[in-house]
Amino acid sequence: MEHLKFRGVIVACLLAMTCLASFGQDVGKVMGIEAGYGFIASSSDLAPQSPNGLVLGLRYGYLILDRPSMSALLSLALGYDDFPQGSGSGNLRTFVYGLEYEHTLFRSSPLALSIEYGLLFDLVLEGGRQGYAYGNHTRLGLGPDFRLGEKDDLVTLLDYNALDLPFFELSSARLTSITLALRYQRRL
């Protein structure tokens, strides 16, 4: 008898979920690629000889809010930063991955405003050091969003990046950088 009640509850839950799903809305998806310039504003214990670097990134996200006047995008982010001539004999390289939240205001106009916030992790390799380190990375960004069409956007973002590295032979290393990147986004 107890077994039949359990089956009834499962069937009722499945029917309820099916009914709710039929009234639900499809979630929009967005893909993006970016390239830009990075400048190390400050650094403790990691001191590349050149504070200038290359920034590359990929995004795949879900529109969690999609209105004509505004949108909110939650993305999985992958990136690569390369600052030449690290304090050792080679470059300071970081592989970036994590989540980013982008909020776009005035989306229906040809020029919108994008604000982004990212909680990321970095895998850091520095020439002259053996091994690698993991770091906690926070990103805050702001910039104009140019609509290129119904599904395409070109976003220019100025980001502030803070990276904490409690690894290598250091007790705590910190790196802050400013990046300027151009991102092409397409709604799928």
pLDDT in tens, 110-148: 899 999 999 999 988 877 777 777 888 999 999 999 999
Q: Evaluate whether 59 touches 81 at the Cβ level (below 8 Å).
A: no
The C-alpha atoms of residue 31 and residue 17 are separated, in whole angstroms, by: 29
For residues 137 and 134, give the distance between their C-alpha atoms in angstroms, rounded to a whole number: 10
Interval 160-182: pLDDT, tens: 999 888 765 555 778 889 999 99
pLDDT digits (tens, 9 = 90+) for 9-56: 666 666 665 554 545 557 789 999 999 999 988 877 665 567 888 999
pLDDT of res. 68: 87
Q: What is the mean pLDDT of the segment spanning 145-158?
A: 92
pLDDT of residue 182: 96
Max Cα–Cα distance, the chain, nearest Å? 75
pLDDT of amino acid 184: 97
Average per-residue pLDDT for the chain? 83
C-alpha to C-alpha distance for 52 and 86, rounded to whole angstroms = 11
Q: Are 182 and 154 in contact (CB under 8 A)?
A: yes
Domains of the chain, CATH where assigned: 28-187 (2.40.160.20)
Tell the residue number behind the tokens 């990212």, with chain if given: 118
CA distance 155 to 161: 18
